[in-house]
């Protein structure tokens, strides 16, 4: 009985322990069920219906097929917001990404005085070192900061052409930003002058790869305009500007508004430039045009700070005095006004006249009256100096009683004629008329400013010239195909010769290279390959090296003649691709050659089946292999065996680094033998 009383506390403890354990299990199960339900509800509310939740004690396991890695991460974050994140077990799988959108490959090329910076994303197939080396060459050896990332996705269409063009642009420009993406290039740059701006824009728009979108924006410092002039005329022939210059956009807009209010119509041309005599230029010119409108016609000329107003004959003196008085008081202090009310006349008096005519062929005829024999000689010599290479025919005669300042008017007329490509200048006592064609888009305004500068703002000037693109020296630049055709013509009549078994050009070759250099200087940034070939005599390795040395010798000779060769490539092909039978002396002589040809922008040209081969401008090298006797060999390719031109490319260097970057076919017209590294060119 005593033992039973001793066991009762132990039994009670065991019963209490069992009851506590059961209660704990029930509580844990309740917590587990509540956690699972809460997480499931939250995932459902957030739209993650693909996720399922399993409880394992206090742990919450999330399973399911997530549509993306981002969705998987967000689902786990949602669960972690309901229960402690350490209790969330991620057992989700991500659905295999079929048809995933590749990233957009793009490069920003920033070029300045401190070097070149590359920022953007490029394909993982890029040979980064080759790419950077090419950028250094294109930028003239500048320091290159590499800030590029890579992504392992296929190279998009148009990427290669865009990089090729970007490399060409980098060679041409000194301060620029070039944005490159697949099939599109945007170029923003600064030039040193308006002339350089026009030349760069013309070059960058030449030889565009097919399908490539290019946006070129080049800014230039405003030109210094002397004299800073505006001439506005209202007469029976119409109302408008004969020349116009403004210092700001706001001034130009104000001048244009006054012109339209005076009755002028259509589009106006007003050059923005430096050299204005006053910050109030726009206000002064606008007031002058308004005053001319109030007079009903005439001409007003601003030449720096001098203002000349000439009213139409027959105007009432009172009206003239009132308008001129108001204008004189309204003009800023720096301006000086001269006003004239001509007497009404029936027409020109006297036969005094001087005429200069320029034919499209460059022949110049000067006729009319001059003051003295000395003035006649001066006019002739001045014309010969202004029309270099042109034939000047004098039909003048000495006369007395000519108006004051006649000689100055004659010389001004000759100088105006020199601004034309063809046309006529008529000098009269009270008027100078200029008619013709010019290769300058601003030719009419430039001639008007010239005559105002020479004769003063009060001079009556009538200039009507037409812009002719054929006379524009920039627009008239030859195409790459024309350049290569010119080289073919030269090398068909004369040959490039080397000393036997060497890469030394003979003395007889100098004039030939001079002619080729002259052609190439007129063909800037030509994507040209200079290819050397040999016959099959001698060891193959020696022939390959000799052909390379000879191609480089021609490149060096052109560089020495100040030809810009940064877009050229010199390659030796040894005895590959013979164009004649190597079993005969005539055939071997034909196979020893140098070829000039355009480089293709994408891939190799079609196989040499005779119809779509690159067009070479061929000149020959000397005997290779074992040296032959003689001072030099005549090694021109036989007439009629020249190849057809390959598809042109913007630049060979651009193609070089793209070929290194991608597993695309080489740009070379023919494959190189194994074991020989392609030589570079140091520009």
CB atoms within 10 A of CB 588: 23
**Contacts with 213 (C-beta within 8 Å, 6 or more apart), sequence order:** 183, 184, 185
Among residues 94, 117, 143, which one ends one of the domains? 94
Task: Work out how many domains the chain is built from and give that number.
Answer: 5
Do both 488 and 629 map to the same domain? yes
Tokens of 670: 């023919």
Q: Which position has the higher pLDDT, 398 or 344?
A: 398
User: Is residue 666 situated within a structural domain?
Assistant: no
pLDDT at 425 over 90: yes
Do both 381 and 415 map to the same domain? yes
- Tell me what the pLDDT averaged over the chain comes to: 78
- What pLDDT was estimated at residue 631? 35
What pLDDT digit, counting tens, does each position of 641-669 carry?
A: 333 333 333 334 444 444 444 433 333 34
- What pLDDT was estimated at residue 638? 36
User: Is residue 215 situated within a structural domain?
Assistant: no
Do both 509 and 629 map to the same domain? yes
Q: Which position has the higher pLDDT, 486 or 262?
A: 262
User: Is residue 345 situated within a structural domain?
Assistant: no
Q: At how many degrees (to 10) do helices 443-455 and 406-417 cross?
A: 160
How far apart are the C-alpha atoms of 614 and 635, rounded to whole Å?
Answer: 20
How far apart are the C-alpha atoms of 543 and 531, rounded to whole Å?
Answer: 13
Among residues 94, 115, 137, which one ends one of the domains? 94
Among residues 205, 239, 262, which one ends one of the domains? 205
pLDDT bin (cut points 50, 70, 90) of residue 298 is very high
3-class secondary-structure state, position 194: helix
pLDDT bin (cut points 50, 70, 90) of residue 481 is confident
| Inter-residue contact 439 to 422 (CB < 8 Å) | no
Q: What share of residues in the chain are helix, strand, coil (percent, to 5)? A: 35, 25, 40
User: Is residue 670 situated within a structural domain?
Assistant: no
| Inter-residue contact 619 to 512 (CB < 8 Å) | yes
Angle (nearest 5°) at CA 267 between 261 and 271: 95
- What pLDDT was estimated at residue 100? 57
Q: Which of 91-100, 272-281, 494-503, 525-534 has the lowest mean pLDDT?
A: 91-100
Do both 540 and 648 map to the same domain? yes
What pLDDT digit, counting tens, does each position of 127-175 carry?
A: 778 778 878 888 888 888 888 888 888 888 888 888 888 888 888 888 8
Sign of the alpha-carbon dihedral angle for 351, 356, 359, 365: positive
pLDDT at 259 over 80: yes
Beta pairing partners, 367: 355, 395
Do both 265 and 368 map to the same domain? no
Domain span at 68: 2-94
The enclosing domain of 547 has a CATH number of 3.30.1330.60
How far apart are the C-alpha atoms of 371 and 58, rounded to whole Å?
Answer: 117
Q: Which position has the higher pLDDT, 303 or 10?
A: 303
Q: Which of 27-41, 287-301, 433-447 has the lowest mean pLDDT?
A: 27-41
| Inter-residue contact 61 to 54 (CB < 8 Å) | yes
pLDDT bin (cut points 50, 70, 90) of residue 474 is low
Do both 251 and 112 map to the same domain? no
pLDDT bin (cut points 50, 70, 90) of residue 304 is very high
Beta pairing partners, 457: none
Burial of 157 (0-12, 13-18, 19+ CB in 10 A): exposed
pLDDT bin (cut points 50, 70, 90) of residue 96 is low
How far apart, in Å, are the Cα atoms of 142 and each of 126, 517, 566, 619? 21, 27, 15, 35
Longest dimension (CA), the chain: 168
Q: At how many degrees (to 10) do helices 406-417 and 373-386 cross?
A: 20
- What pLDDT was estimated at residue 292? 94
Q: Which of 35-44, 377-386, 418-427, 549-558 has the lowest mean pLDDT?
A: 35-44
How far apart are the C-alpha atoms of 404 and 541, rounded to whole Å?
Answer: 82
- What pLDDT was estimated at residue 291? 94
The enclosing domain of 90 has a CATH number of 3.30.1340.30
Do both 336 and 461 map to the same domain? no
Average pLDDT over residues 239-246: 92
How far apart are the C-alpha atoms of 287 and 307, rounded to whole Å?
Answer: 12
Please write down the HEC assignment for all residues of 484-532.
Answer: HHHHHHHHHHCCCCECCCCCCECHHHHHHHHHHHHHHHCCCCCCEEEEE
User: Is residue 673 situated within a structural domain?
Assistant: no
Do both 528 and 635 map to the same domain? yes
pLDDT at 231 over 70: yes
Q: Which of 34-43, 89-98, 124-133, 312-321 has the lowest mean pLDDT?
A: 89-98
User: Is residue 217 situated within a structural domain?
Assistant: no
Do both 53 and 120 map to the same domain? no
Do both 465 and 493 map to the same domain? no
Do both 66 and 8 map to the same domain? yes
The enclosing domain of 359 has a CATH number of 3.40.1520.20
User: Is residue 595 situated within a structural domain?
Assistant: yes
Please write down the HEC assignment for all residues of 224-257.
Answer: ECCCCEEEEEEECCEEEEEECEECCHHHHHHHHH
Tokens of 143: 């320091």
**In the chain, pLDDT over 90 holds for what percent of residues?**
19
How far apart are the C-alpha atoms of 3 and 683, rounded to whole Å?
Answer: 112
**In the chain, pLDDT over 70 holds for what percent of residues?**
79
CB atoms within 10 A of CB 256: 20
pLDDT at 639 over 50: no
Do both 492 and 369 map to the same domain? no
User: Is residue 83 situated within a structural domain?
Assistant: yes
Q: Any alpha helices (H) in 46-141, and if so which ranges?
A: 69-82, 128-138
């Amino acid at each position: 009985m005593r033992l039973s009383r001793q066991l009762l506390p132990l039994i009670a403890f065991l019963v209490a322990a069992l009851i506590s354990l059961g209660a704990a299990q029930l509580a844990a199960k309740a917590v587990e069920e509540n956690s699972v339900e809460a997480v499931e509800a939250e995932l459902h509310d957030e739209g993650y219906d693909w996720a399922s939740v399993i409880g394992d004690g206090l742990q919450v396991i999330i399973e399911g097929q997530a549509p993306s890695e981002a969705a998987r991460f967000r689902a786990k974050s949602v669960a972690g917001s309901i229960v402690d994140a350490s209790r969330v077990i991620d057992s989700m799988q991500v659905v295999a990404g079929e048809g995933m959108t590749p990233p957009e490959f793009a490069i920003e090329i920033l070029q300045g005085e401190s070097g070149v910076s590359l920022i953007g994303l490029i394909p993982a197939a890029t040979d980064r070192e080759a790419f950077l080396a090419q950028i250094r060459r294109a930028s003239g050896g500048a320091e290159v900061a590499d800030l590029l990332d890579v992504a392992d996705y296929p190279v998009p269409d148009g990427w290669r052409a865009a990089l090729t063009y970007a490399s060409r642009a980098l060679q041409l420009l000194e301060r620029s930003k070039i944005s490159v993406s697949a099939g599109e290039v945007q170029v923003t740059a600064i030039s040193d002058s308006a002339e350089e701006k026009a030349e760069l824009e013309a070059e960058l728009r030449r030889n565009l790869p097919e399908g490539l979108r290019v946006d070129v924006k080049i800014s230039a410092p405003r030109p210094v305009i002397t004299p800073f002039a505006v001439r506005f005329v209202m007469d029976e022939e119409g109302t408008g500007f004969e020349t116009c210059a403004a210092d700001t956009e706001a001034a130009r807009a104000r001048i244009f508004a006054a012109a339209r209010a005076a009755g002028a119509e259509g589009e106006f041309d007003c050059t923005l430039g430096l050299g204005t005599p006053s910050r109030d230029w726009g206000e002064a010119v606008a007031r002058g045009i308004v005053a001319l409108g109030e007079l009903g016609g005439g001409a007003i000329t601003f030449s720096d700070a001098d203002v000349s107003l000439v009213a139409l004959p027959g105007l009432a003196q009172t009206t003239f005095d009132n308008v001129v008085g108001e204008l004189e008081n309204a003009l800023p202090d720096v301006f000086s006004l001269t006003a004239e009310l001509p007497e009404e006349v029936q027409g020109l008096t006297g036969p005094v006249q001087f005429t200069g005519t320029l034919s499209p062929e460059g022949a110049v005829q000067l006729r009319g009256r001059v003051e003295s024999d000395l003035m006649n000689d001066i006019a002739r010599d001045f014309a010969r100096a202004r029309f270099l290479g042109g034939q000047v025919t004098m039909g003048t005669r000495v006369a007395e009683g000519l108006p004051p300042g006649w000689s100055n008017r004659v010389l001004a007329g000759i100088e105006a004629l020199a601004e034309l490509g063809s046309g006529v200048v008529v000098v009269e006592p009270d008027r100078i008329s200029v008619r013709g064609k010019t290769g300058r888009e601003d030719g009419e305004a430039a001639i008007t400013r010239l005559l105002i500068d020479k004769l003063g703002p009060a001079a009556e000037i009538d200039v009507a010239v037409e812009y002719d693109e054929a006379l524009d020296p920039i627009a008239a630049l030859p195409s790459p195909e024309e350049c290569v055709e010119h080289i073919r013509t030269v090398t068909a009549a004369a040959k490039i010769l080397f000393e036997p078994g060497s890469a030394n050009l003979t003395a007889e070759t100098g004039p030939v290279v001079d002619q080729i250099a002259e052609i190439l200087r007129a063909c800037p940034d030509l994507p040209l390959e200079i290819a050397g070939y040999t016959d099959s005599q001698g060891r193959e390795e020696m022939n390959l090296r000799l052909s390379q040395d000879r191609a480089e010798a021609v490149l060096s000779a052109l560089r020495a003649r100040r030809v810009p060769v940064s877009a050229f490539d010199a390659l030796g092909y040894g005895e590959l691709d013979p164009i004649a039978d190597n079993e005969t002396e005539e055939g071997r002589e034909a196979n020893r050659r140098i070829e000039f040809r355009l480089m293709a922008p994408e891939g190799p040209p079609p196989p040499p089946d005779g119809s779509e081969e690159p067009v070479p401008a061929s000149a020959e090298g000397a005997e290779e292999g074992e040296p032959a006797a003689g001072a030099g060999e005549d090694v021109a390719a036989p007439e009629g065996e020249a190849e057809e031109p390959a598809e042109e490319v913007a630049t060979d260097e651009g193609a070089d680094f793209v070929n290194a970057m991608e597993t695309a076919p080489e740009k070379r017209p023919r494959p190189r033998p194994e074991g020989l590294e392609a030589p570079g060119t140091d520009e």
